[in-house]
Structure 1
Amino acid sequence: MTSQKQTPVKLTSLIAPSFHELHWDILEHKHTHYKLAGGRGSTKSSFISLEIILGMMQDPEANAIAMRKVGRFLEESVFEQLRWAIEGLGVSDKWKVRFSPLGLSYLPFGNKIIFRGADDPQKIKSVKLKKGYFKYIWFEERSEFDGPEEERTILQSLMRGGTDYYVFYSWNPPKSINSWVNQDILLERPDTIVSHTDYRSVPRDWLGEQFFIEAEHLRDTKPKAYEHEYLGVATGTGGAVFENVTVRTITDEELSRFDRIKNGLDFGYGADPLAYIKMHYNKTRKRLFLFGEIYAVKLGNTKAAREIRKLNPLNHYITADSEEPRAIAALNELGLRVIGAKKGPGSVDYGMEFLSDELEEIVIDPKRCPNAAREFTSYELEQDKDGNFKGSYPDKNNHTIDAVRYGMEDAMTRRKAKIKNKARAGLR
């Protein structure tokens, strides 16, 4: 890297248009956690490196730590990316570069960027600073980390002694929606913003003509691979059961029009949770809206009735798992109106096919129904040792799905009756 003084450049020549709004969000510190997913060439890592360098040059107390799951990949990824940001901003003369161990220091203030691999978590826990605190924390290639528990452990060690924090996460989404990083961004937090970008919003000359040639060739020959690799879409393993699910906020205006309310209940107490779902069914458009949820373990009948009553103040009928007649009787004694699902041979298969094939759309509000959003989007057929999908639906991580099946049983029964009547009429 050159030691000559360079001329500062305009940020618009370094930050892609898709990140302009996010840049102002960071300047105004509207959030703490910035989760940036996207495909190849989206420039998300470039954007993060610029924000860290710019921020550290404004605050003498601000230090940064950049992490990968495997430490040996640090130099060729985040280290080089941050050096690119320094060079691009024209401030190379103000930064000291160290290769062993990896490190970057801003000379006017003496604050530092430290690099660590999470394959040795003890090294992260033992990091100490002489001055300031870790204002900037970066998880690069987030999907390589072991899960939210590992992230929390790391953050508990690093987020100490400061006032303002910026935690950046960057990754290319794995194929399976069941992956923990794909599930994580479905859960809304007021201090978190999620960004999803791809190469199409990046100036063509930044990536080079050949990048676009390769992307467009893959788009024309293998569209699924293109969606995953270049657009950063979790295209799935091919075993997803519910491909008609939309996870989005259900507006107050929509809620005010809901009049076909259905309620389903799947019992649980110990390891398995009790799951109650409140729904609206638009029969004409074949759309189901999930907008109320109770999901808890060790929830006794009295407390369950109290919580259900909050979501069901008009005491609409609830269809529950008929395998628990005592629990149904207890809830009825407590004032609810609960009936057992009829079930019967093939009811599971028929119910799952109705929800996944007959319904045009299942809309789930992630704030009101976070567990339903997680279960419906991650529910996949299991594979055998040869990679073939099994024919049965897995009976796990499906508590809200079962509750929805029970709550929709009357609609499914009427549908089945119509099919039988048409069949009989055809035989005459």
Structure 2
Amino acid sequence: MAVKNIQLTNVVAPSFHELHKVIKDVLYSSYWLKGGRGSTKSSATSVEIILGIEKDPLANAVVLRKTAESLRESVYEQMLWAIDILGLSEEYHASVKPLRITKIKTGQRIIFKGAEKPKKVKASKFRRGYAKYIWYEEVDEFNSMAEVRTINQSLGRGGPNITIFYTFNPPESATNWVNVEIEQQRIRKDVYVHHSDYTTVPIEWLGEVFVNEAEHLKKTNVDKYNHEYMGEITGTGAEVFKNVTVRAITDDELSTFDKIRRGLDHGYAGDPMHYTENYFDKTRRKLYIFAEIHKAGLSNLKATDAIKRLNPDNGAVTADSAEPRTNNEFKDLGLKIEKAKKGPGSIEHGIKFLQDLEEIIIDPYRCPNTKREFVTYELERDSNGNLRGDYPDKNNHSIDATRYALETLIKGAKTVKIKQKPKWYQ
């Protein structure tokens, strides 16, 4: 096979050499490859797929983008490039109608699909084998992970060691679904997350013009440079909590938490009830959030049972005071409920307290909804694109419950009084 004479270092940038090893050893089933412009992540992915097809005669590939019209000029050409660079041009046949690449000797195929309607992306019948490789190029163009899962459920069956690649440039906003999703994927044992940028790529591969443009932007607009070329999530300026760390909180850590704080935000109609448990490290000003109940339509009796399972010693729970009847029912059912005092400015003061913490550590296994709300909570913009000054009252159930749990700390926090400006200044 001609590919044996190709040196990996000549076709894959140094930052992808470790990736090649873990793919070769079949250590993971999903690979999330993110990075900036010119990082060559798409090139590395296409090479790995061709190498896999050459190694396994039952391996076929499905390559997807959100829209079909973008396939030919991007991933189709990319796969042809990989075949050429590996010295296999004579062994593959490429067709445009339908958009397909076929290994002549075995009939193995690489097919290309647009996913405008994810539910209609059906598994393809292959003359030989199954779809061992699935590649989502520019996965951030999809609307949600739910769309991707729908497609995976259709394509991801038929044989062993199915490998899925997701390649993308991280969107600017930390609240974009793909940036949120990758943090969830990162903690899975079957997922490999890789980040790359152009600085590890040989300059002759990119060309001097590309490098010069990147370096010019670095001098003139470092935030844009960090986002576009380094693949960093620089934010939009609307994020409320920039001090959140998403990671598992270990049992050893939990065993050291000596004062647990509990908060409860009542559900209304379709809104979920949210119960939270957390620990505040005063010395290091770190908040650990490690337990939640988040559910809509939960009766007070069922909610009480669920809370008692997390809180068997019946520690005090600070609850939203806007529903005294609900609080009384919880008391009658045996919960030790304390009403949140709230008051004018309590929302702003509470959020400011949380923003000023050194770190808010959220366990994504125990508290997936808390993680989602804290990470995606943003200020809204007006019709001119300017940020509004008030905090949106939606998708903030865990945030409210956390404020209630910490109310005594928040009220005791020192505040700086701003002196009134003299009349001549106004």
Whether these two folds match at TM > 0.5 is yes
Aligned to 1:369: 367
Structure 1 18/314 Cα, relative in aligned 2: closer, same or farther at 3 Å? farther
Kept in 1: contact 2:63–2:75 (CA 8 A): yes
Kept in 1: contact 2:217–2:225 (CA 8 A): yes
Q: CA deviation at 1:122?
A: 7.6
- Structure 2: gaps of 5 or more residues: 420-426
Kept in 2: contact 1:8–1:91 (CA 8 A): no
- Structure 1: gaps of 5 or more residues: 424-428
1:293 and 1:194 mapped to 2: Cα distance? 27
1:252 and 1:198 mapped to 2: Cα distance? 37
| 1:162-201 correspondence runs (5 A) | 162-188=159-185, 189-201=188-200
Kept in 2: contact 1:5–1:91 (CA 8 A): yes
Aligned to 1:406: 404
1:66 and 1:217 mapped to 2: Cα distance? 34
Structure 1 109/341 Cα, relative in aligned 2: closer, same or farther at 3 Å? same
Aligned to 1:287: 286
Aligned to 2:423: none
Deviates more, 1:269-278 or 1:205-214: 205-214
Kept in 2: contact 1:381–1:389 (CA 8 A): yes
1:98 and 1:71 mapped to 2: Cα distance? 15
Residue from 115, 119, 138 that aligns with 2:116: 119
Q: CA deviation at 1:120?
A: 5.7
Kept in 1: contact 2:261–2:279 (CA 8 A): yes
Structure 1 140/337 Cα, relative in aligned 2: closer, same or farther at 3 Å? same
For residues 302-344 of structure 1, what are the alpha-carbon distances to aligned partners after superposition, in whole Å with 9 as ceiling and x for unaligned?
Answer: 3323333343344332211112223333333444322111111
The secondary structure found in structure 2 opposite 1:134 is strand
Deviates more, 1:324-333 or 1:167-176: 324-333
For residues 380-401 of structure 1, what are the alpha-carbon distances to aligned partners after superposition, in whole Å with 9 as ceiling and x for unaligned?
Answer: 1111111111121101111111
Structure 2 counterpart of 1:283, one-letter code? K
RMSD: 2.5
For residues 146-195 of structure 1, what are the alpha-carbon distances to aligned partners after superposition, in whole Å with 9 as ceiling and x for unaligned?
Answer: 22232223223322333331111111111122211112123244433332
Residue from 64, 67, 73 that aligns with 2:70: 73
Kept in 1: contact 2:262–2:318 (CA 8 A): yes
Q: How many residues align?
A: 417
Q: CA deviation at 1:269?
A: 6.0
Structure 1 counterpart of 2:183, one-letter code? L
Structure 1 197/374 Cα, relative in aligned 2: closer, same or farther at 3 Å? farther
**Percent of matched pairs sharing the same residue:** 51
Kept in 2: contact 1:260–1:282 (CA 8 A): no
Deviates more, 1:341-350 or 1:293-302: 293-302
For residues 112-143 of structure 1, what are the alpha-carbon distances to aligned partners after superposition, in whole Å with 9 as ceiling and x for unaligned?
Answer: 00112123658733743333221111111111
Whether 2:265 is the aligned partner of 1:266: answer: yes
Kept in 1: contact 2:119–2:151 (CA 8 A): no
Deviates more, 1:139-148 or 1:321-330: 321-330
Q: Structure 1 length normalisation: TM-score? A: 0.89
For residues 2-37 of structure 1, what are the alpha-carbon distances to aligned partners after superposition, in whole Å with 9 as ceiling and x for unaligned?
Answer: xx9677212233233333333333233333222222
The secondary structure found in structure 2 opposite 1:243 is coil
1:6 and 1:322 mapped to 2: Cα distance? 70
Whether 2:344 is the aligned partner of 1:345: answer: yes
Deviates more, 1:185-194 or 1:48-57: 185-194
2:367 and 2:67 mapped to 1: Cα distance? 35
Structure 1 334/192 Cα, relative in aligned 2: closer, same or farther at 3 Å? farther
Whether 2:307 is the aligned partner of 1:311: answer: no
Kept in 2: contact 1:186–1:373 (CA 8 A): no
Deviates more, 1:369-378 or 1:405-414: 369-378
Aligned to 2:395: 397
Structure 2 counterpart of 1:400, one-letter code? S
Aligned to 2:155: 158
1:214 and 1:231 mapped to 2: Cα distance? 13
Q: CA deviation at 1:76?
A: 1.6
Structure 1 16/332 Cα, relative in aligned 2: closer, same or farther at 3 Å? farther
Q: CA deviation at 1:280?
A: 1.4
2:19 and 2:338 mapped to 1: Cα distance? 50
1:191 and 1:397 mapped to 2: Cα distance? 30
Aligned to 1:11: 8
For residues 206-244 of structure 1, what are the alpha-carbon distances to aligned partners after superposition, in whole Å with 9 as ceiling and x for unaligned?
Answer: 333443332232222211111211122222221111122
Aligned to 1:148: 145
